[in-house]
Amino acid sequence: MTALLLKGILAAYLAGALFYVLYVFAQKTVLSHTGLATLGAGFLFQTLDFLIRYQTVGHFPVVTFQQTLSFFAWAVAGGFLLLQLRFNLRVLGALVAPLALCLVLGSSLTPGEPSLPKLSHQSVWLPIHVISVFLGNGIFALAFLVSLLYLLQERSIKGKKLGFFFKRLPPLHRMDSINYRCLMVGFPLLSLGMVSGSIYAQVSLGSYWRWDPMEVWSLITWFLYAALLHQRITMGWHGRRAAVMSIIGFLILLFTFLGAGTLMQGYHTFAQPGETS
């Protein structure tokens, strides 16, 4: 059942990616609608997959690196579907769908971990921590992608080359305000994720803060996004600078997740889930 679902998820995200990329070139709304529908189907399959796994393992099923990658994809796709309800940003699908596809593909290629970490998975703080962190990550990923598009569009306007991208990309203001909204939603989620994580650490390990690499890097990301939010609100920062900061913030986030999560030693490290030093 889950193997079949995984195939379904991969197929749906692949189709979504293809339709959206075709849409960027051919500009036919029927393509973007199909892309949206297939992406939505992938999202539903993933939701179903989580529910089934929750049923079978009996605890919140996002613990291993493999599972978090897939959950990340779910958050990115879900965030995009929500965005699409409110704003017209179809072109973004051409980046979101491939990203979701890569994340699920990465997850399916990562070897599974049969032994469960020794940390308590029964605490309610674990799902709160994981869900808020990855919803936040998903939203910051969207901010990252929309910032890339912003820079591309700004370059064509400032460089006075009103060709392929100028016509296809949305107005600067729309992309900037989406970036802002992502920050407004992503930042509280990231904060909640860090607070709930430290409570969870207190509950299961006996201390709130252990200077674990992932904790440190998360704090750095948090400060960066906090600074960006502050500058936006007080100084009216927007446009290029905000886009560049969103891109840097997400890259650090990605490094925190991938680098600190797998390479460095710490109790967050996925590969040795039980090790708490």
Partner 1 sequence: MNLILVGMNHKTAPVEVRECMAVATSDASRLLSEVVNHPLVSECLLLSTCNRVEALAVTRDPERAAGYLINLLARNHGSDAAALAPHFYVLHGRNAVCHLFRVSSSLDSMVLGEPQILGQVKDAYRVAVRHNASGAILNRLMHRALFVAKRVRSETGIGSAAVSISYAAVELARKIFEDLSEKKVLLIGAGEMAELAVRHLFRNGVRDMVVANRTFERALDLASQFKGKAVLMEEVEQRLREVDIVISSAGARDYVITYSQVQGLMKKRKNRSLFFIDIAVPRNIDPRINELPNMYVYDIDELQHVVEYNLREREAEAVRGERIVREECIKFEKWFHTLDVVPTVKNLVDWAEGIRARELQKTIPRLGALSSEQTEVLDAMTASLVKKLLHNPVTFLKRDRRHEESTGGELALVRRLFDLNEVD
| Residue 139 Cα to chain centre, angstroms | 6
Closer to partner 1 by Cβ: residue 46 or 156: 156
Closer to partner 1 by Cβ: residue 181 or 210: 181
Q: How far is the CB of 221 from partner 1 (least distance, A)?
A: 24
106 is a site residue for partner 1 (CB under 8 A): no
Closer to partner 1 by Cβ: residue 170 or 273: 170
Tokens 């100084």 correspond to 235
**Chain residues 16-35 in contact with partner 1, contact rule CB under 8 A:** 27
Closer to partner 1 by Cβ: residue 206 or 236: 236
Q: How far is the CB of 240 from partner 1 (least distance, A)?
A: 5
CA distance 77 to 67: 16
| Through-space distance between the first and last CA atoms of the chain, rounded to whole angstroms | 37
From residue 238, how far is each of 136, 145, 183, 230, 243 by CA, in Å? 21, 16, 12, 11, 8
Please work out the total of residues on this chain that contact partner 1, with binding judged by CB under 8 A. Answer: 21
> Contact letters (x/-) for partner 1, 38-77, by CB under 8 A?
----------------------------------------
The encoded tokens of residue 69 equal 């990658």
From residue 150, how far is each of 85, 109, 116, 239, 249 by CA, in Å? 20, 32, 42, 8, 16
Asked if 98 and 91 count as a contact pair (C-beta separation under 8 A), the reply is no
Asked if 52 and 9 count as a contact pair (C-beta separation under 8 A), the reply is no
Closer to partner 1 by Cβ: residue 30 or 263: 30
What is the number of alpha carbons within 13 Å of residue 119 lying toward its C-beta?
28
Q: How far is the CB of 167 from partner 1 (least distance, A)?
A: 7
**Chain residues 163-202 in contact with partner 1, contact rule CB under 8 A:** 163, 166-167, 170-174
Q: How far is the CB of 161 from partner 1 (least distance, A)?
A: 9
Q: How far is the CB of 237 from partner 1 (least distance, A)?
A: 6
Closer to partner 1 by Cβ: residue 59 or 240: 240
Question: Rounded to a whole number, what is the largest CA-CA distance in the chain?
Answer: 59
Cα-based torsion angle of the residue sequence 178, 185, 66, 16 in order, rounded to the nearest 10 degrees? -30
Closer to partner 1 by Cβ: residue 160 or 277: 160
Alpha helices, DSSP H, located in 120-171: 125-158, 164-168
**Chain residues 148-167 in contact with partner 1, contact rule CB under 8 A:** 153, 157-158, 160, 162-163, 166-167
Asked if 249 and 228 count as a contact pair (C-beta separation under 8 A), the reply is yes
**Chain residues 226-265 in contact with partner 1, contact rule CB under 8 A:** 235-241
Closer to partner 1 by Cβ: residue 195 or 244: 244
For partner 1, the binding residues (CB under 8 A) are 27, 153, 157-158, 160, 162-163, 166-167, 170-174, 235-241
